[in-house]
Chain A
Amino acid sequence: MIKRIICDILFFAVIFWGPWWAASLMGFIFVILFKNYWEAFAAAIFMDSIYYIPSNKLWGNFGIFTVVALGEIIITEKIRKQIRT
């Protein structure tokens, strides 16, 4: 639990003060390491709120971080369940 909290603090610090690719890489790794790491989805919405500009397309409100984070969490949890069984 403490490890997860420390990782969360580092993760959000990199979002503000580091490049986007560093934050994305950290999020990607933490989703694999931790179970139900929905902090990555929250961070993705956070980053898209700050940096993304919605377009006029139907799904234009979703930035790339939000879509990728949601997809990665769902797929990782499914694979985790399959590996367990």
Chain B
Amino acid sequence: MKFLPNKKLNNNKKKITGGVIIALLLIMAFFKENVGHVVSTPIMAASSYLLSSNEDVGNWFKRNAAYLEQKKSLEEENGRLKATLTELESRSLLCRSLEQENNQLREAASHVTNKNKKFITAAIVKRPPAIPYDTLILDAGSESGITTGMTVTIYGEALLGQIVEVFPGVSKVKLISFPANETSVILGNQNISASAVGRGGENLEIDLPKDIQTNIGDLITTPGLDGLVVGSVDKIETNDSSPFQKIIFRLPINIQQLGLVMIEK
């Protein structure tokens, strides 16, 4: 007895499956905030313990591969690092005296600065390039008093990003270099007001008219008396056919070397 394939039934199944997929995609597109949070909340709740574990394969290999390095190269590196440390210690002394002088000048000018800022410290659990996007996962969440919109800084001095999603045990940070993310900044000694746009890969750019004089190394900060450092000018791109110049800079610190962040309450 031969059973012929039911073409009509198969076609109907395909149409129904295709219709369901398209309907789901449209729901996700038009109700993205609600659906996104409904999908991500149980996943983050279930995986927050696993994410909090700092032991990942990459770090394990890095630590164990160190045993294979030759003694001589380690000694050379040790010497270089000691010299760098001595240089940084002397610069730190200079910074402290400048900071003291700055505070005295501010008091003399009667500007009131908010020294009572409170911070929550959190460790970075996942960071680029382990994550392909310009985001960070922190090991502190709503249980630690973190809410969306809080500013994330490096030691309270440099701007890193903003808390965008909070879960009980973890929270997600959107870096200022996230593609198309805009941050208001002040550029250089001339206090030029501009908008820094994220390019991804920890890079940002500012478009300015060509006639504005900028130099490599100019400091970029957020507006205000207690402005946070955003970066310093790394590269200036000009084009003869365009009236604008493109200022490109990176985040002020290498995220790979950053262990803790401070979240402003």
Contacts and interface: CB of A to CB of B under 8 A. Distances in A.
Interface in B14-50: 28-29, 32-33, 35-36, 39-40, 43-44, 47, 50
Contacts of A52: 133, 135
Given A16-B47, A17-B57, A61-B29, A49 B40 contact: yes
A61 B37 CA distance: 10
B164 interface: yes
Contacts of B250: none
A50 B58 contact: no
Interface residues of B, number: 32
A18 B57 contact: yes
B44 A50 contact: yes
Given A20-B130, A58-B29, A61-B32, A50 B47 contact: yes
Interface residues of A, number: 24
Contacts of A31: none
B56 interface: yes
Nearest to B129: A19
B55 A17 contact: yes
Contacts of A20: 129-132
B160 to A, nearest CB: 15
Nearest to B126: A51
A45 B40 CA distance: 9
Interface in B46-68: 47, 50-51, 53, 55-58
Given A50-B47, A51-B135, A59 B29 contact: yes
B153 to A, nearest CB: 19
A54 interface: yes
A28 interface: no
A18 B50 CA distance: 12
Contact of A49 (B43, B55, B130, B180): B43
26 contacts: A14-B57, A16-B51, A16-B56, A17-B55, A18-B56, A18-B57, A18-B130, A19-B58, A19-B129, A19-B130, A20-B131, A21-B129, A22-B57, A45-B39, A49-B39, A49-B40, A49-B43, A50-B137, A51-B126, A51-B132, A52-B135, A53-B133, A53-B135, A58-B29, A61-B32, A61-B36
Given A17-B53, A53-B133, 20 more contacts: A16-B47, A16-B51, A16-B53, A17-B55, A17-B56, A17-B57, A18-B58, A18-B130, A20-B130, A21-B129, A45-B39, A50-B47, A50-B51, A51-B133, A52-B133, A53-B164, A53-B172, A59-B29, A61-B29, A62-B29
